Amino acid sequence: MRFVLVSVLLTVMALTTLACAPAPIPTAPATQFARATGAPSASPAATPRAGVPSLTRVPLPRVLRINLGARPETLDPQRAFASYESAILQLAYEGLTRIDEKGNIVPGAAERWEFSGDGKTLTFFLRANLTRADGTPITAQDFEFAFKRAVDPRLGAASQSFLDDVRGAVAAYSMDPKSKPEDIERALEGVGVQAIDDATLVVTFDQPTGYWTAIASTWIGLPIDRSRVEQDPVAWWLKPENHNGNGPFKIADIQDQIVRLVPNPHYWQGTAKLDRIEFYWLSEAAGLELYRQGGLELTRVTAETLAVAQADATLSKELRRVPAARVTYLGFNLKRAPFNDKNVRKALAYALDREAFVREVLLGLGKPHLSWIPPGIAGYDETAGRFGYDPQAALQTLIDAGYGTPDKKRVDCAKLGTLKLTYSNTLRTQQLFSLIAANLTRVFACPVLLDPMDPSAYSVAVRDPRTTPQMFLMSWEEEYAHPQNWMFLQTCAGVFAARLGYCNRDLDAAVAAANQEPDFVRAVEKYKSAQRIFLDDLVGAFLWHNENAYLLKPYVLGVWEHRSTADNAWLGQFGPVLEYDIDLGKTGANYPLR
């Protein structure tokens, strides 16, 4: 199992207290995108229809314009990490496997794969006549190059730990990047990814790793064109022609405010119905306003803009909401009193009014959640959640556990001891923790201390198990759609468990068994069993899963029907993009004319 130093999302990005009115559309500053291409900044809005003599003479293009809300820092697959970067890359490239909108692992560039009897070798068999966007062949050697490039210590790939189970990978990327080049090359040669021939790639593991078919779908192994990369190893990705990929689309334009993609005519599964997909990165408020004007087909809505969309007669009908692959819980330090007592943890779980938190802090953009893996992700278990809001049960649990007064009518606060909530001192978290403190005080009639910390000091404190606070917020947003990406955090060597002083060897064994299971369906059931062990230990009180909300034009066809919890960048991103279409008879003002 990979063990990464995950940066816990302890300041809740979705928390806000105000709904904002739409802001003017900003003009983005010049960046390396524009400088690299020499292209002028693009205006997101297309030319209006007014004054056009005849729209019937030239057919309208089928264009899907999407606001990602954040600018990609890189479009180099092995250096990428953010969801808005991978969203573009998964259109321009295709891994050995893919994840569909139902969370299934399906064939991509590899038409099939098989594990060895001991589970330590995984062989991928590429499709026949697989080509790049320029029609040149793509082979197993291209995938070998990509995976080994990802663990080259000189690259410093953000997601290199995805490959921790591959033989020799950790040893390679752990080297000093200033080591002798020949030593680094020797280490890379020893990494367990080997092209046996043009159509066969063999991956060797230190231990059985059944979930690796999901890793094979991620950006870390996308087959970049080695000849283009080696001409400019650092900045090759800034030129669209260098993205000679094998995905359903190809990158045609990279500018300061936009990335345009057009269909790849050589994609093995056929040609897309859409003529273009365009990505922008406006703020949510600016994206909403541009969408209102007809300059976008799809844009994200956050808690800050949700009220605006809901109050608008037209926008409210075009608002689409789905569960997000992001869960937040209140973590308890099991090494500090009183949370070394499971009964106290249970009482706290009963005491929390999650509906109020979602309503007051998330402004409705989420759902109360009582388990770990969220709905829509393989491994979600609707029967696993327990200890929902029940103030009477919370009170009785503490009294029965010996924390009550002699008459057993209320909690003896002296016996319970200090309850302290530690958090990063920002406006967004202040409201949440004030609500939690008031909630606990109301239920137990005991004081709760608020412990705000400077954000930089807080980040250091929660990363070190020696300084873990008594109670603090834990959040996780999946990196790839597989239950392993959730459960590895809670094992004894996982960073979440380490910070909370949690270690259950039965959980470790259950997760290991699930990790080693090559059959995906059976593996999911094993992950569910492991999750039940974790939930029963009450390491934290689960609060909510977030929701993703989008505005989607009604003339866009197929996107909503193929929505997914894993859609963390744009609605429908894991669906069959070749089938997405535009009803040209229903487009409105500012739809592109060419």
Supply the pLDDT for residue 15.
38
Record the tokens describing residue 241, joined without a space.
């022609």
Supply the pLDDT for residue 21.
33
| Helical axes 427-444 vs 342-351, angle rounded to 10° | 110
Q: How do residues 407-442 score in pLDDT, each as one tens digit?
A: 999 999 999 999 999 999 988 899 999 999 999 999
Confidence of residue 57 (pLDDT cuts 50, 70, 90): low
- What pairing do the DSSP bridges indicate for beta strands 319-332 and 97-99? unpaired
E strand intervals along 49-138: 63-67, 97-99, 105-107, 110-115, 121-126
Confidence of residue 352 (pLDDT cuts 50, 70, 90): very high
* CB 594 within 8 Å of CB 58: yes
Supply the pLDDT for residue 354.
98
Supply the pLDDT for residue 89.
98
Q: How do residues 261-276 score in pLDDT, each as one tens digit?
A: 999 999 999 999 999 9
Supply the pLDDT for residue 309.
95
Which residues have a Cβ under 8 Å from the Cβ of 180 and sit 6 or more positions away?
none
d(CA 214, CA 95): 10
Tell me which DSSP letter residue 205 carries. B
The number of helix segments (H) and strand segments (E) in the chain equals: 19, 19
User: Cα torsion at 175, 181, 183, 189 (round to 10°)?
Assistant: 90
Supply the pLDDT for residue 358.
96
Q: How do residues 118-168 score in pLDDT, each as one tens digit?
A: 999 999 999 999 999 999 999 999 999 999 999 999 999 999 999 999 999
E strand intervals along 117-226: 121-126, 193-197, 200-204
Of the chain, the percentage scoring pLDDT greater than 70 comes to 90
Supply the pLDDT for residue 59.
87
Q: How do residues 38-51 score in pLDDT, each as one tens digit?
A: 333 334 444 444 44
Supply the pLDDT for residue 516.
96
Record the tokens describing residue 172, joined without a space.
């390679």
* CB 570 within 8 Å of CB 278: no
Supply the pLDDT for residue 499.
94
Which residues have a Cβ under 8 Å from the Cβ of 59 and sit 6 or more positions away?
584
d(CA 530, CA 489): 12
d(CA 545, CA 349): 16
Give me the sign of the Cα torsion angle 208, 209, 213, 215. Answer: negative
CA atoms within 13 A on the CB side of 68: 22
- Omega cis (within 30) before 338: yes
Query: 24 pLDDT exceeds 90?
Result: no
Supply the pLDDT for residue 361.
92
Of 277, 272, 270, nearest to 298 by C-alpha is: 277
Domains of the chain (ranges, CATH numbers): 32-36+60-280+566-586 (3.40.190.10), 323-546 (3.10.105.10)
Supply the pLDDT for residue 23.
34
* CB 130 within 8 Å of CB 266: no
Of 348, 361, 327, nearest to 390 by C-alpha is: 348
The overall average pLDDT reported for the chain is 91
Query: 29 pLDDT exceeds 90?
Result: no
Please compute the mean of the pLDDT values over residues 270-286 and round it to a whole number: 96
* CB 502 within 8 Å of CB 539: yes
Confidence of residue 344 (pLDDT cuts 50, 70, 90): very high
Q: How far is CA 90 from CA 53, 75, 100, 309, in A?
A: 39, 11, 12, 29
Of 372, 379, 325, nearest to 497 by C-alpha is: 372
Query: 25 pLDDT exceeds 80?
Result: no
Please compute the mean of the pLDDT values over residues 53-63 and round it to a whole number: 72
* CB 204 within 8 Å of CB 167: yes
Query: 92 pLDDT exceeds 50?
Result: yes
Give the SS3 label for residue 161: helix
* pTM of the entire predicted model: 0.88
Please compute the mean of the pLDDT values over residues 504-513 and round it to a whole number: 98
